[in-house]
C-alpha cells in the first residue's frame, strides 16, 4: 500500500514520464525504452488546428427553406475545430515550432495541449524555404510552465536506430508510430528548394503528422516530420535537429518580440564555440558596447543559465524587455552585465520592414512631382531579403525605391518617429497595412499593401 502511494505521489509531481518499481514489476518487459520515450515526449507534443465555419441543419431544411428561407432560414453557422498538423513546445513560456505549410493559410491558429486545453497562437516568424515557423501561445505561463522538448545533439543520429513519430494524423490526436532511421543526409528537392541533410524514416507519417516530432529512444527531439513520398510506402522525410536549431537561433531574440534591443545584428548567424556560443557583431543600440561585449566573445552562461548550444542562448534572452539587466559569463571567465536597450527608429524600421526611409521635404516633393506640403516617407532603400529575414514576403515584389509611405493602419506617417511609434507596439509575424503612393509608369497610384512584419 505504501509503495503504491509513493508511486501515485511521484506521478503527481513528476508526470507520466515517471515510472515506479511497482509498475516495473507489474509490467515487466512491456515497459520498453520506446514506451518510456513516448511518455517523456507526449506532454510537449501539440496538435495544431484552425476554426472552420460550417452550416448545420436538422434534415428538414430543404422543405422549410423552399417556403420560408426569405424570412427565417433554419440552418445556422457553427464554428468547428479543424485539425491541421502537429508541433513541438520549445520553450516553457509558450513557444511552438512546426512546419510553415501547416499554418500557412490558417486565419486563426489554435493549439491543443496534451492535457486537452486549447490556446490561440500567434505567428512569430517563418522560414518558407526551410518550411519552419515559430508560434507563440497567447497566455501567461509563468505560474504553470509548459513541458518542453528535450533536444538531441545536432547530427547525433544513428543509421538504423529505432525512432518514434508522434503527431495528429487525420485528427487522431497524439498518435504514435515506430520505425528506424532509413537514411541520413538525404537529398530532397521541394520546388525551388533543395535539401541535402534530410533524415529518412519508415515510421508512419500521414497527413496531420507534419510538424510533429521524430524522437529517439531517449525521448529527445531529433527532427520534425516534413513529408512522405506519395508513390511509396514507408518513405518519410524529416527536418534534422541542426536545421531546426539554426532557425530558432535566428528568431529567439528580444528584437523579434518587442522594440527591445540586446545589440545583436539579426542577420548574422550565431555559431558554436568550444564551450558556448560565439557572438556576432554587437550594435550600439544598447549598453553592450559600454559593458565591453564585442564580436567574437564566447558566452557560456546568461543570468546563470548555462549555454551549451544555440537554442540555449535564444531561450535565455528572447523574453527580455527594455530595461532588463543581463549578466553574461564569457569563456575567459569574465562577467559582463548589460542593460537591454530600445531600438532606435531607423533600426526598428529596418528590422520590422527591411526598409530605409527618408522624410519628404519641399525639395523632394518638387523633384518627385508632389504637392509641396505632402507628408510621408519615401523608400530610399529596400534591403536584400536574405540580409534581414527569411519570410519571403510577397509585398517586396510590389514596393520599390521611390514609393512613399503615407499611412500605417490608421496612423499618418509624416516622419520616421511616427512610423517607429507604430512599429514599437508590434512584433514579428504581425500583419500591418501600409497606404503607399507607388509609381506606376509615369503616374503615382495609391496602394493598400498588407505586410507581414519581420
pLDDT at residue 122 above 90?
yes
Residues 315-357: tens digit of each pLDDT = 999 999 999 999 999 998 899 998 898 999 998 998 898 889 9
Q: Which of 86, 91, 127, 131 is catalytic?
A: 131
Are 287 and 370 members of one domain?
A: no
Answer yes or no: do 327 and 357 share one domain.
Answer: no
Asked if 86 is an active-site residue, the reply is no
Highest mean pLDDT among 2-11, 16-25, 272-281, 405-414: 405-414
Contact status, residue 219 vs residue 36, Cβ threshold 8 Å: yes
Q: Are residues 26 and 144 in the same domain?
A: no
Distances from the Cα of 418 to the Cα of 316, 345, 384, angstroms = 32, 9, 24
The answer to whether residue 289 is catalytic is no
Whether residues 163 and 271 fall in one domain: no
CB atoms within 10 A of CB 12: 9
**Domain co-membership, 307 together with 443:** no
CATH number at residue 420: 2.30.42.10
Q: Quick one: 338 and 364 in the same domain?
A: no
Q: Check pLDDT > 90 for residue 56.
A: no
pLDDT recorded at residue 378:
94
pLDDT reported for residue 227: 83
**Is the distance from CB of 52 to CB of 93 less than 8 angstroms?**
no
Round to whole Å and give the CA distance between 42 and 175.
Answer: 10
Give the domain-ending residue among 292, 321, 342.
342
Give yes or no: residues 152 and 294 share one domain.
no
CA 365, chain centre distance (Å): 41
What local confidence, expressed as pLDDT, does residue 285 receive?
Answer: 65
Buried-exposed string 109-120: b where 16+ CB fall within 10 A, e elsewhere: bbbbbbeeeebe
Domain boundary among 294, 324, 342: 342
The count of structural domains within the chain is 4
**Which tens digits make up the pLDDT trace of 210-221?**
899 999 999 999
In terms of domains, do 282 and 138 share one? no
CATH of the domain at 139: 2.40.10.120
For 302, residues 6+ apart whose C-beta sits below 8 A from its C-beta are 313, 316, 317, 326, 327, 328, 329
101 is catalytic: yes
What are 64-99's pLDDT values in tens digits? 455 444 444 545 555 667 888 999 999 999 999 999
The whole-number pLDDT of residue 387 equals 53
Mean pLDDT for 372-393 is: 76
Q: Which residue shows C-alpha cell 508510430?
A: 177
Give me the phi and psi of 297, to 5 degrees please.
Answer: -65, 140
Same structural domain, 310 and 385: no
According to the model, what pLDDT value does residue 5 have? 47
Name the grid cell of 296: 567574437
Catalytic residue among 210, 258, 286, 428: 210
pLDDT in tens, 28-42: 678 999 999 999 999
Cell numbers standing for residue 388? 534581414
Distances 251 to 124, 142, 322 between C-alpha atoms, Å: 8, 21, 18
Burial class (CB in 10 A: 0-12, 13-18, 19+), 197: middle
Question: Both 96 and 225 in a single domain?
Answer: yes
- Of 86, 91, 101, 250, the catalytic one is 101
Q: Is the pLDDT of residue 119 over 70?
A: yes
Domain boundary among 342, 373, 396: 342
The dihedral region occupied by 285, where left means phi > 0, alpha psi between -120 and 50, and beta the remainder, is alpha
337 and 376 belong to one structural domain: no
Could you tell me if 13 and 5 are in contact, meaning their C-beta atoms sit under 8 angstroms apart?
Answer: no
Q: Compute the CA torsion angle 211, 214, 220, 223 (nearest 10 deg).
A: -60
Q: Give the domain extent around 377.
A: 345-452
297 with 421, same domain?
Answer: no
pLDDT in tens, 247-259: 999 899 999 999 9
Residue 50 pairs in a beta bridge with 82
What pLDDT was estimated at residue 292? Answer: 77
Contact 85, 209 (CB under 8 A): yes
Amino acid 14: pLDDT: 44
The per-residue pLDDT for 24 is: 65
Compute the distance between CA of residue 286 and CA of residue 339 in angstroms, rounded to an integer: 7
Amino acid at each position: 500500500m505504501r509503495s503504491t502511494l509513493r508511486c501515485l505521489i511521484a506521478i503527481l509531481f513528476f508526470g507520466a514520464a515517471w515510472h515506479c518499481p511497482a509498475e516495473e514489476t507489474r509490467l515487466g518487459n512491456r515497459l520498453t525504452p520506446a514506451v518510456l520515450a513516448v511518455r517523456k515526449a507526449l506532454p510537449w507534443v501539440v496538435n495544431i488546428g484552425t476554426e472552420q465555419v460550417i452550416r448545420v441543419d436538422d434534415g428538414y431544411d430543404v422543405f422549410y427553406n423552399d417556403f420560408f428561407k426569405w424570412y427565417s432560414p433554419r440552418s445556422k453557422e457553427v464554428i468547428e475545430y479543424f485539425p491541421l498538423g502537429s508541433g513541438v513546445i520549445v520553450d516553457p513560456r509558450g513557444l511552438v515550432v512546426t512546419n510553415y505549410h501547416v499554418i500557412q493559410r490558417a486565419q486563426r491558429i489554435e493549439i491543443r495541449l496534451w492535457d486537452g486545453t486549447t490556446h490561440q497562437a500567434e505567428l512569430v516568424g517563418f522560414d518558407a524555404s526551410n518550411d519552419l515557423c515559430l508560434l507563440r501561445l497567447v497566455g501567461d505561463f509563468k505560474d504553470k510552465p509548459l513541458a518542453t522538448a528535450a533536444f538531441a545533439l545536432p547530427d547525433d543520429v544513428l543509421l538504423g536506430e529505432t525512432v518514434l513519430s508522434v503527431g495528429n494524423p487525420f485528427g487522431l490526436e497524439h498518435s504514435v508510430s515506430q520505425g528506424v532511421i532509413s537514411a541520413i543526409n538525404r537529398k530532397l528537392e521541394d520546388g525551388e528548394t533543395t535539401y541535402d541533410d534530410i533524415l529518412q524514416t519508415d515510421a508512419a507519417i500521414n497527413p496531420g503528422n507534419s510538424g510533429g516530432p521524430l524522437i529517439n529512444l531517449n525521448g529527445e527531439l531529433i527532427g520534425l516530420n516534413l513529408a512522405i513520398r506519395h508513390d511509396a510506402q514507408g518513405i518519410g522525410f524529416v527536418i534534422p535537429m541542426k536545421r531546426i536549431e539554426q532557425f530558432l537561433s535566428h528568431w529567439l531574440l528580444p528584437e523579434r518580440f518587442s522594440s527591445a534591443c540586446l545589440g545583436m545584428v539579426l542577420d548574422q548567424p550565431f555559431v558554436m564555440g568550444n564551450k558556448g556560443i560565439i557572438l556576432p557583431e554587437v550594435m550600439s543600440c544598447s549598453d553592450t558596447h559600454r559593458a565591453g561585449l564585442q564580436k567574437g566573445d564566447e558566452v557560456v552562461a546568461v543570468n546563470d543559465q548555462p549555454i551549451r548550444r544555440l537554442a540555449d542562448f535564444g531561450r535565455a534572452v528572447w523574453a527580455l524587455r527594455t530595461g532588463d539587466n543581463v549578466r553574461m559569463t564569457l569563456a575567459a571567465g569574465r562577467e559582463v552585465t548589460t542593460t537591454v536597450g530600445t531600438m532606435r527608429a531607423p533600426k526598428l524600421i529596418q528590422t520590422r520592414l527591411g526598409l530605409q526611409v527618408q522624410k519628404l521635404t519641399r525639395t523632394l516633393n518638387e523633384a518627385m512631382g508632389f504637392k509641396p506640403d505632402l507628408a510621408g516617407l519615401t523608400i530610399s532603400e529596400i534591403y536584400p531579403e536574405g540580409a534581414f529575414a527569411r519570410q519571403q514576403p510577397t509585398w517586396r515584389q510590389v514596393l520599390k525605391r521611390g514609393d512613399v509611405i503615407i499611412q500605417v493602419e490608421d496612423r499618418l506617417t509624416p516622419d520616421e518617429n511616427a512610423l517607429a511609434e507604430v512599429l514599437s507596439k508590434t512584433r514579428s509575424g504581425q500583419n500591418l497595412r501600409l497606404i503607399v503612393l507607388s509609381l506606376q509608369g509615369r503616374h503615382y497610384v495609391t496602394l493598400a499593401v498588407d505586410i507581414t512584419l519581420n
